[in-house]
Structure 1
């Protein structure tokens, strides 16, 4: 009898593979529809993270003297307008998904509230339902972060920032970044400068962990499709800015214009099953690179080794940053 066991295992493996192949064929149109839905659901949160990740990298176009250091504690505040908390979908956008109770629906994004709107779909002749995902339900997104600046050679400055994990409702996010600032005025004005001009390049990673109540997608016959309980969103941004500043008594006034190249990596979390793993493979399709512009306007008050700084940044959203900076030496 034992000699037949390997044959049985091989048969079951092929049967499972065949079953999964059939599931892929049946589920592919539904998964493609979910990509359309998730694109609208995720995009406002990704835009918000890019806006905040690029804010308040500088207070002046001047650079610190070589090996001099400053440490700053800052806070970002971004207001998400109502139009970014909801988006509209209609049945013409989908192959298999159908909006329950109508042809069109206004549903929440990742920044919006919970809402009991359902999609219906059919796989393998079984009817399933999916409730739209809930968001963080907050109009104001705020977080503190630390930034350290170190002067290097040739009027160049290294910038490093970090935001600890901040909890918002059940979700949380953190921020990491590194950048270089190089003064350009040295090439045009020498040591006698009416104003300062610099170029700043930085990379930021905004790690957003969206958590919601576990939701099992199951058919009316009790067949479970998968269970989803959140989304992990990694928003990457590379920003190059031209910045200018001018000192007036104890004040420093600054402004800048920047170009952003950003992309997101994300996946849904929940049950560790074939369907969710397959869907997360499909999500790679949403990791496209996007370009945008940003504008900054700031004012800083300096006394002794301290500075109090503020900056208004406009990208996808408007973001206000406030902070305190201490020059160590």
Structure 2
């Protein structure tokens, strides 16, 4: 399976992966294809939500009026030890037409979009005409990112923040739409931080700052399946949106050069993947065309906690932090600012 560079660099939507094998599942019918695709994509959608919920702060000390910071932020979400996310159980009894070539009728684990299980062959039997025996089609189920030697999901974007009055700071993040070999993906987000210690008379002498941070991120992408599809039809493509909300309570030190920060948060997100276009399912008189066959919606939420450090050298700053969650994430930033 060939993986597109844009999918890797921008949170690996998995649907931005060139999925010749994925299209083969349509031979089993739309209902079977929907069920398989839902289970296959679920872990990568979940990991993407936790990935994009990070990076919203590197200090609890909000910028003063007119203070600003421009950042280049990167995140790596690992899943090397997440064996339960790398596969799922496919039970042929839950499918209408799909079954394993070996040990037919017996449930077994197969690869998710994060996994590395290879060489698993399945078959479907397709009706070809009245009085004729069904035609048997065999194909191999798709593997995932681990099969390509990738046990992490990276992302990157630009982020800016500006201080307003009374300890309030607004933020925005952005990745312009990138196009590569039929795929495109972009990121946009907005955030708000409020420093409660700015309301105290002794703010300037307090050794720590305490803030609340809220951030929203949306990733939008699409992939043209026409050139890799093995199923007849037209205008075949995948479109997906992943959105995430992050709510955090943050505390940090207020030292001149190096500071430490940490936070507790709650993340909630949703992914919507639409399989669009015309798909011809079946053979001969039993063939039919399905238009925009299905849409998959998946929701994710969970508690997070992180710790990090920030180094200030004049206008130049570096920061890094590690977030513990259902999927752990390392975030690092290169920052330029004035306050």
Fold shared by both chains (TM-score > 0.5): yes
Q: Distance in 2 between matches of 1:293 and 1:270?
A: 38
Q: Tell me, which stretches of 5 or more residues in structure 1 are unaligned?
A: 1-26, 218-223
Q: Does residue 175 in structure 1 map to residue 187 in structure 2?
A: yes
Which structure is higher in helix share? 1
TM-score (norm 1): 0.75
Which residue is equivalent to 1:15? none
CA contact 2:278–2:291 (8 Å) conserved in 1: no
Q: Distance in 1 between matches of 2:188 and 2:140?
A: 33
Q: Does residue 214 in structure 1 map to residue 223 in structure 2?
A: no
Q: Tell me, which stretches of 5 or more residues in structure 2 are unaligned?
A: 1-25, 129-133, 281-287
Q: Does residue 306 in structure 1 map to residue 316 in structure 2?
A: yes
Q: Distance in 2 between matches of 1:184 and 1:157?
A: 12
- Relative to 1, partners in 2 of residues 1:110 and 1:230: Cα closer, same or farther, differing over 3 Å? farther
- State the shift of 1:156 in Å: 0.9
- State the shift of 1:149 in Å: 0.4
Q: Does residue 258 in structure 1 map to residue 272 in structure 2?
A: no
- Relative to 1, partners in 2 of residues 1:271 and 1:326: Cα closer, same or farther, differing over 3 Å? same
- State the shift of 1:78 in Å: 2.3
- State the shift of 1:308 in Å: 0.7
Q: Distance in 2 between matches of 1:50 and 1:92?
A: 31
Q: Does residue 241 in structure 1 map to residue 243 in structure 2?
A: no
Moved over 6 A (4+): 166-172, 210-213, 227-230
- State the shift of 1:181 in Å: 0.7
Which residue is equivalent to 2:3? none
Give SS of 1:101's match: coil
State the number of aligned residues: 291
Which residue is equivalent to 2:158? 146
Which residue is equivalent to 2:45? 46
Q: Distance in 1 between matches of 2:102 and 2:174?
A: 46
Which residue is equivalent to 2:5? none
Say which one has the larger Rg.
1
Which residue is equivalent to 2:21? none
Q: Does residue 322 in structure 1 map to residue 332 in structure 2?
A: yes
Q: Does residue 277 in structure 1 map to residue 322 in structure 2?
A: no
Q: Distance in 2 between matches of 1:59 and 1:81?
A: 26
Q: Distance in 2 between matches of 1:170 and 1:113?
A: 25
- State the shift of 1:37 in Å: 1.5
CA contact 1:183–1:198 (8 Å) conserved in 2: yes
- State the shift of 1:245 in Å: 0.9
- Relative to 1, partners in 2 of residues 1:163 and 1:324: Cα closer, same or farther, differing over 3 Å? same
- Relative to 1, partners in 2 of residues 1:311 and 1:304: Cα closer, same or farther, differing over 3 Å? same
TM-score (norm 2): 0.73
Which residue is equivalent to 2:213? 200
- State the shift of 1:71 in Å: 0.5
Matches within 5 A, 1:69-148: 69-81=68-80, 83=83, 84-102=85-103, 103-112=106-115, 115-122=118-125, 126-127=134-135, 129=137, 131-136=140-145, 137=148, 138-148=150-160
- Relative to 1, partners in 2 of residues 1:275 and 1:62: Cα closer, same or farther, differing over 3 Å? farther
- State the shift of 1:207 in Å: 3.2
- State the shift of 1:171 in Å: 6.5
- Structure with bigger RCO (C-alpha 8 Å, 6+ apart): 2
Q: What RMSD in Å do the two structures reach over aligned CA positions?
A: 3.3
Q: Distance in 1 between matches of 2:115 and 2:201?
A: 50
- State the shift of 1:309 in Å: 0.4
- Relative to 1, partners in 2 of residues 1:48 and 1:171: Cα closer, same or farther, differing over 3 Å? farther
Give SS of 2:230's match: strand
Q: Distance in 1 between matches of 2:299 and 2:334?
A: 34
